[in-house]
Amino acid sequence: MLASVGVLAALAALAGLRGSAGEPIRAQTAEVTQGTIARRTLVTGTLQAARTVALGSEVSGTIHSIEADFNDRVRKGQVVARLDPSVYQAQMTEAEARLAQARAEHARLQAVVDDARRKVARAETLAAEDVVSTAELDLARLAASDAEAALKAGAADITATQAMFDRARLSLDRTIIRSPIDGIVVSRHVNVGQSVAASVQTPLLFTVADLRYMQVLAEISEADVGGVRSGSKATVQVESIGDQQFEGTVAAVRLQPLLEQAAASSTGGGVGPPVPTGTSGTPAAAGPGTSSARQPSATSPTGAGATQTSPPGPSSAAASGGTSASSSSQASEAGASTAGVVTYTAVIDVNNATGAVPPGGTAIITLTTHQRPDAIRIPNAALAFRPSAEAFKALNQEPPVLEPSQLPHEELRPGTRRAYVWKVENRRFVPIAVEAGLADDFWTELVEGPLRPGDVLLTAAEPTRK
């Protein structure tokens, strides 16, 4: 963009106002060039950390100590707070004692099983010698089965008691609150001595954010979203830190459309979408290649003699010399009661390795939505120019009657418009019909027309004598 500004400034300086005291007009010119056209859109959004963790407590208790405060940089696993552990220490001690008791009971039951098995073996030997009856043998076997069942119950009791002990130990460990990520403490919600109850929901203690990577959620209008892709570059400026700019990258464009309703009167005079404003709060000027995410596409003439409706892409009252009409106004004139502006959310990543970008700040994002490399470019000022009646009179020339276009209608490509530019040949104003395409702040793409790089076009002309 800066290169384009430099080219236009150089051309204006070289051309200047041509003419002398003996010439009937003074003219300012600019050349047709070849280069890149990049249409930009200007949107705003709020900066937030790409990774933010709300740190809470999984157990209830009283805050015993706080070991991190606002703006403190913490590491993953670092202790930031402690709860009073006395209750959970007592629970773990009790569970440990029950576990020891269950293990001792299991050992006793194992001895009972071993004794019952010996008695069964002896009863089987005596029964084989007809010393004891079959009923006594059955009783021995039944006692052994009961002892084995009790042993299994004892083993299950050990498992349950072990789980109680592990839970008590885990609860005790959770009285120590640790940071789950590397980051900065952006908020603290508790003080020492404060009670927290985790029985209903997890109480919030801290918010930790990794500020090395920031994100901006920007709303892109449906007219511009087609040119925004994952990986597209963006320029981010944060109002709170001055004119410093940061590079951003579009991470994703969410497919869910957002519809903002704007009220409109059924008798006309509807309220259109919000006017984009600059950093000072005044309406921001929009060039032909800059549009707002809240601004609908416009219908406007595009230079002298132009009658084509501009496409949803480049639109500018400055480049066309016309006046934009909002889609909501058109809807109200048709009797509609509401009008909607459809936008899509773009997620833009901003590298904040230096930590200069603060979270929560308002960011102004410049996105390149459409681009034409190596295009033949007409200066926008040339498209906006039309000789005045006084200029025609100074050359003793009748203003020519301009047809809507000298190009057949079927040859008009989608997304283009018809327009005229002007030259001076043999002391006469000569109109040249062109088909114009993509436009940015300074240039408009030449899609069709008898122009080549280096051709000189008029951008201003006025009589030398009035």
Q: What is the mean pLDDT of residues 405-418?
A: 66
**pLDDT band for position 337 (50/70/90)?**
very low
Burial category of 205 from C-beta neighbours within 10 Å (exposed 0-12, middle 13-18, buried 19 and up) = buried
Mean of all residue pLDDT scores within the chain: 79
pLDDT at 298 over 80: no
Q: What is the mean pLDDT of residues 374-397?
A: 92
β pairing state of 245-263 and 338-351: antiparallel
What CATH number belongs to 38-49+210-298+325-371?
2.40.30.170
- Tell me the C-alpha distance between 227 and 349, whole Å: 18
Convert 12-32 to b/e letters by CB count within 10 Å (16 or more is b).
Answer: beebeeebeeeeebbbbbbbb
- Tell me the C-alpha distance between 86 and 432, whole Å: 90
**pLDDT band for position 351 (50/70/90)?**
confident
Q: Where is pLDDT greater, at 285 or 378?
A: 378
pLDDT (tens digit per residue) in 163-201: 999 999 999 999 999 999 999 999 999 999 999 998 878
Q: Where is pLDDT greater, at 352 or 75?
A: 75
What percentage of residues in the chain have a pLDDT greater than 70?
A: 76
Check: CB of residue 16 under 8 Å from CB of residue 28. yes
pLDDT (tens digit per residue) in 101-154: 999 999 999 999 999 999 999 999 998 888 888 899 999 999 999 999 999 999
- Name the CA dihedral angle for 269, 272, 278, 281, rounded to a multiple of 10 degrees: 60
**What is the predicted pLDDT for the residue at 336?**
38
**pLDDT band for position 413 (50/70/90)?**
confident
**What is the predicted pLDDT for the residue at 233?**
87
Q: Domain locations in the chain?
A: 2-37+375-463, 38-49+210-298+325-371, 58-84+175-202, 87-173
Joined tokens for residue 460: 């201003």
For helices 86-128 and 134-173, angle between their N-to-C axes, nearest 10 degrees: 160
**What is the predicted pLDDT for the residue at 307?**
33
**What is the predicted pLDDT for the residue at 160?**
96
Q: What is the mean pLDDT of residues 426-442?
A: 90
**What is the predicted pLDDT for the residue at 117?**
94
Q: Which of 419, 418, 424, 428 is closest to 460 using CA atoms?
A: 424
pLDDT at 310 over 70: no
Q: What is the mean pLDDT of residues 341-352?
A: 89
The H or E element that residue 434 is part of is strand 428-439
What is the per-residue DSSP string for 186-229?
A: EEE---TT-EE--SSSPPEEEEEEEEEEEEEEEEEETTTGGG--
**What is the predicted pLDDT for the residue at 96?**
95
**pLDDT band for position 263 (50/70/90)?**
very low
- Tell me the C-alpha distance between 181 and 184, whole Å: 9
pLDDT at 82 over 90: yes
pLDDT (tens digit per residue) in 56-65: 999 999 999 9
- Tell me the C-alpha distance between 32 and 454, whole Å: 5
Q: What is the mean pLDDT of residues 270-285?
A: 37
Q: What is the mean pLDDT of residues 447-466?
A: 89
What CATH number belongs to 2-37+375-463?
2.40.420.20
Least confident of 103-112, 120-129, 317-326, 350-359: 317-326
User: Hey, how many other C-beta atoms are within 10 angstroms of the C-beta on 92?
Assistant: 21
Strand locations in 232-297 (E): 233-238, 245-263, 290-292
pLDDT (tens digit per residue) in 8-56: 443 443 343 444 456 788 889 999 999 999 888 888 888 889 899 999 9
**What is the predicted pLDDT for the residue at 91?**
95
- Tell me the C-alpha distance between 431 and 225, whole Å: 35
**How much is the pTM?**
0.56
What CATH number belongs to 58-84+175-202?
2.40.50.100
Q: Where is pLDDT greater, at 117 or 328?
A: 117
